[in-house]
Amino acid sequence: MKPALRGLLLMALALLGLQLYFALRIAAMAYVDPHSTAFERSELWRITTAPERSHWQQEWVPYGQISRALKSAVLASEDDGFATHGGVDWEAINTAWQKNAKAQARAEARSAAAKGRAVKPPRIIGGSTITQQLAKNLFLSGERTIVRKAQELVITLLLEACLSKERILEIYLNHVEWGDGVFGAQAASWRYYRKDASRLAPNEAARLAVMLPRPKFFEKLPASEYLANRSALIQGRMAYAQLP
């Protein structure tokens, strides 16, 4: 066998082995609660090595001990088709791609008009579902490459195949970031409202849901006008959220 062919075969076997590893890990999550995610471990390393250390807050709570209001708010804000899609919302991805393309074009026009002066880069809008977000947080880095996105898609499909929608949402809500060193619904509920996640009111749940795309940013701006307005909008949508 030629060296090049042998190398390709070994790469294919290694890739297949990696997918099998992910599949086994995910299958086990149907019965065993994951203790941490790749993103949490990277954040823990950052916190413990930073000159000013943040306090780490996280506590797993079962699905039934997370308020219905928070589940509804998160779905209304992050992924209103969660209960029915197969893990990927292609329409949302296409919409995000179009918005990002327009934002990039505007940024390039401003850059040309600025004649060498620094111009703020465009904000990238994501079209990821809750399952895709969980796939990335569980196993992957935050880099934006085609290879990483392809692996995210494979893990997303494995999550949908091996776990129920309720279990996916349960794991997501227990591990998603809600501030600097704040992970999961229970920790967020205590951090911002001094109560258990089961007792969150609709307005509190909506506010937490709106924080999710930029938790560290909104943690420092609790009086943000955008946060208040967006929270009111999400609260109005919560009644229509379809829970798994």
pLDDT in tens, the chain (244 residues): 677 777 788 888 888 999 999 999 999 999 999 999 999 999 988 888 877 666 889 999 999 999 999 999 999 999 999 999 999 877 766 665 555 545 455 545 555 555 555 444 444 445 689 999 999 999 998 777 888 889 999 999 999 999 999 999 999 999 999 999 999 999 999 999 999 999 999 999 999 999 999 999 999 998 899 999 999 999 999 999 999 9
Kindly state whether residue 110 falls inside one of the protein's structural domains: no
58: phi then psi, degrees, rounded to nearest 5: -165, 135
Kindly state whether residue 47 falls inside one of the protein's structural domains: yes
- pLDDT confidence of residue 47: 86
Q: Which of 223, 227, 194, 188 minimizes the C-alpha distance to 70?
A: 188
Kindly state whether residue 206 falls inside one of the protein's structural domains: yes
User: Which 8-state DSSP code applies to residue 7?
Assistant: H
Per-residue tokens: 82: 């969660």
157: phi then psi, degrees, rounded to nearest 5: -65, -35
Q: Which residues contact 58 (CB under 8 A, 6 or more apart)?
A: 40, 175, 182, 183, 184, 186, 187
- pLDDT confidence of residue 71: 98
* Per-residue CA distances from 188 to 7, 34, 38, 43, 179 (Å): 48, 18, 19, 16, 8
User: Which 8-state DSSP code applies to residue 198?
Assistant: G
Kindly state whether residue 193 falls inside one of the protein's structural domains: yes
- pLDDT confidence of residue 11: 85
Query: What is the CB neighbour count within 10 angstroms for residue 180?
Result: 18
- 97 touches 141 (CB < 8 A): no
- pLDDT confidence of residue 143: 77
pTM of this prediction exceeds 0.75:
yes
Kindly state whether residue 159 falls inside one of the protein's structural domains: no
Kindly state whether residue 112 falls inside one of the protein's structural domains: no
Distance CA 73, CA 236 (A): 9
- 234 touches 73 (CB < 8 A): yes
Kindly state whether residue 158 falls inside one of the protein's structural domains: no
Q: What residue type is 154 in one-letter code?
A: V
Q: Which residues contact 128 (CB under 8 A, 6 or more apart)?
A: 93, 136
The count of domains in the chain is 1
The whole domain housing 212 covers 25-88+164-240
- pLDDT confidence of residue 19: 92
Per-residue tokens: 180: 């600097």
Kindly state whether residue 150 falls inside one of the protein's structural domains: no
Per-residue tokens: 132: 């895709």
Q: Which of 169, 172, 212, 163 minimizes the C-alpha distance to 192?
A: 212
Q: Which residues contact 59 (CB under 8 A, 6 or more apart)?
A: 184, 186, 187
* Per-residue CA distances from 238 to 84, 104, 174, 209, 241 (Å): 16, 32, 20, 11, 5
- The single residue listed with the structure tokens 């995210």 is 152
In this structure, what CATH number is given to the domain that contains residue 185?
Answer: 1.10.3810.10
Instruction: Please list the residues that pair with 57 across neighbouring strands.
Output: 182
